[in-house]
Amino acid sequence: MLSHAIGHALYTSLAMGWEILWPLILGFILSGAVQAVISHRQMSKLLPDDKPKTLAIASGLGAASSSCSYAAVALARSLFRKGADFTAVMAFEIASTNLVIELGVIMVVLLGWQFTAAEFIGGPVMIIILAVLFRLFLTPRLVNAARKQAEKGVAGRMEGHAAMHDMSVEGDASIWQKLKSDKGKTATSHYFMMDWSSIWTDIVLGLLIAGALAAWIPQSWWQKLFFTNNHTLSIIWGPLVGPLIAVISFVCSVGNVPLAAVLWNGGISFGGVVSFIFADLIVFPILRIYKKYYGFKMATFIFGTFYVAMAGAGYLVEGIFAVFHLAPHIRNAKVLEAHISFNYTSILDVIFLLLAGALIYRFLRTGGPMMIKMMKKPQEGHSHGH
């Protein structure tokens, strides 16, 4: 019956949501704390070129930044408009969605530690591949045209997030002292809620899509799509098809991890999962934003080079893990077997919900709702301080 099928899909989505609730909260708390003590005011000055040292700085800044794909894309344009190098801001963009804490925690819970390790190894690999591609094919003429389009300030999504991305605690105090201060606690609570506000729709959408696919599509269909009967062909096909599935799924940020679990259980290769998760920056809505931000030619260039870098990183990670015999072989990601019961997950969910409640209380007491309202306005150049 239709009602039973829908109910099964919704329950699967809810169960997966319950499974990843505590790691989500933990990830956003850690992310908020990091952002509270790292200033982004002079970030554009730190990214003047595409030298290896600059790209490493860009990756580090990105890893300490938001995991929301839309916010990362908006902030990257903001940095580009302020004079940062285009290759460097793209490295920052990749790191801020693929090398962040909360993504790794969720992947450990749903997929296993090997996928988390693959993500944090593959991210720098993808940035290196992209930097090489940009060196070879990105022309000054294309960059100048993109900068001219970026200067128009055409609205995309989450520009307000980018404009108010500096609430960090300044000074010479230690990191722990900064976090313990009233300003540090407030900044952490605001970043925590700002990231949730940016990303909750992607998380819900990802869970609903993953629940529906897990409940409705038989394993045999996935196995045919991923050529599971031919090991060699499966390894070749996985990193190529993974990003394409991501493009049409419309799910980005950490919301694509539940869907990655469905694909893994369905038979996609290890490298295919990695390339799929990397592809949150080329989903259709973000491709449309690239066109608004940088023009059609640059948007096309970004899609092509990102796709090659994502697939290439998938192949290299697959090869590295195969050499060291680290690639997982058992397909038991927590999606088909997800269920709600009283166990350690439930205890951790309750504990972290209480911690989230404390942050939300401080957020409400310190002007947080007004900050979120301002954040969602499609404008740049607005600063927000505490």
For the stretch 63-78, pLDDT in tens is 877 656 777 887 788 7
Tokens at residue 172, please?
């010479």
Write the pLDDT tens digit of every residue in 276-329: 999 989 988 889 889 989 999 999 999 999 999 999 999 999 999 999 999 888
Among 118-122, 256-260, 261-265, where is mean pLDDT lowest? 256-260
Say what the pLDDT of residue 385 is. 39
Which residue did the predictor score with more confidence, 153 or 179? 179
Range of the domain at 338: 8-375
Burial grade of 144 (CB within 10 A; 0-12, 13-18, 19 or more)? exposed
67 belongs to a structural domain: yes
386 belongs to a structural domain: no
381 belongs to a structural domain: no
Say what the pLDDT of residue 382 is. 41
Contact status, residue 193 vs residue 360, Cβ threshold 8 Å: yes
Mean pLDDT of the chain: 82
**Sign, CA torsion 171/177/181/187:** positive
- Nearest in space to 273 (alpha carbons), one of 248, 241, 233: 241
Name 207's Cβ contacts closer than 8 Å, sequence gap at least 6: 13, 14, 16, 17, 255, 258
Alpha carbon distances (Å) from 113 to 76, 103, 127, 276: 30, 12, 22, 17
Say what the pLDDT of residue 117 is. 95
Radius of gyration of the chain (CA): 20
155 belongs to a structural domain: yes
Give CA–CA dist 242/278, Å, rounded: 9
Number of helices and strands in the chain (H, E): 18, 0
382 belongs to a structural domain: no
Task: Write out the E strands in the chain.
Answer: none
Q: How many domains does the chain have?
A: 1
**Residue 356 confidence class, pLDDT cut points 50, 70, 90:** very high
**Residue 381 confidence class, pLDDT cut points 50, 70, 90:** very low
Give CA–CA dist 285/303, Å, rounded: 12
Give CA–CA dist 119/326, Å, rounded: 13
HSE, CB side, 13 Å, CA atoms: give it for residue 262.
27
User: Does 384 score more than 60 pLDDT?
Assistant: no
Contact status, residue 208 vs residue 14, Cβ threshold 8 Å: no
Contact status, residue 294 vs residue 146, Cβ threshold 8 Å: yes
Percent of the chain clearing pLDDT 70 (strictly above) = 81
Write the pLDDT tens digit of every residue in 77-89: 878 988 899 999 9
Q: Say what the pTM is.
A: 0.75
Alpha carbon distances (Å) from 125 to 146, 251, 310, 311: 25, 23, 9, 11
Burial grade of 313 (CB within 10 A; 0-12, 13-18, 19 or more)? buried
Tokens at residue 241, please?
């098809």
Contact status, residue 231 vs residue 33, Cβ threshold 8 Å: no
Tokens at residue 235, please?
């390894």
Say what the pLDDT of residue 380 is. 43
271 belongs to a structural domain: yes
HSE, CB side, 13 Å, CA atoms: give it for residue 35.
28
349 belongs to a structural domain: yes
384 belongs to a structural domain: no
